[in-house]
Amino acid sequence: MKIISRNQPEQRKMFDELIVEKNVIKMLIFGNDKTIKKIAVKAENQEKRLEDVRGVIWIQSPDFLTEEEKKLFREGNEENVVCVLNMDNEPIVYLKKNEANSDFKLDRSFLKAQEN
């Protein structure tokens, strides 16, 4: 799991490189409260199951995403705390906090992105 904790140039560079990487299903997690931390741990466990093709990027900083990225990765909805991108970097799954706090839902989201 890669963690973006601050809106700084080196973290922006890392994110920009990770987000365009092909052949990896990426799960983006947004936020840093107690529930989001639990979701991040669960997502990391899912990532480890198939780490050659799964990646998790945890964006803790609320001001990190640009407005365009918020529209793309959160559908412009702050309630969406997880976005899963397929191997072509297209958003496939969006989850709200109550949905994302489930190992089953996180695994199904990775699988759905893999199928698309």
User: What pLDDT, in 10s, does the model give residues 94-107?
Assistant: 999 999 999 999 99
Asked if the model's pLDDT at residue 65 lies above 90, the reply is yes
- Burial (0-12, 13-18, 19+ Cβ within 10 Å), 87: middle
With a threshold of 0.85, does the pTM exceed it? yes
Task: Of 114, 112, 92, give the one whose Cα is nearest residue 28.
Answer: 92
Q: CB under 8 Å to 26, separation ≥6 — which residues? A: 18, 19, 55, 56, 57, 84, 85, 89
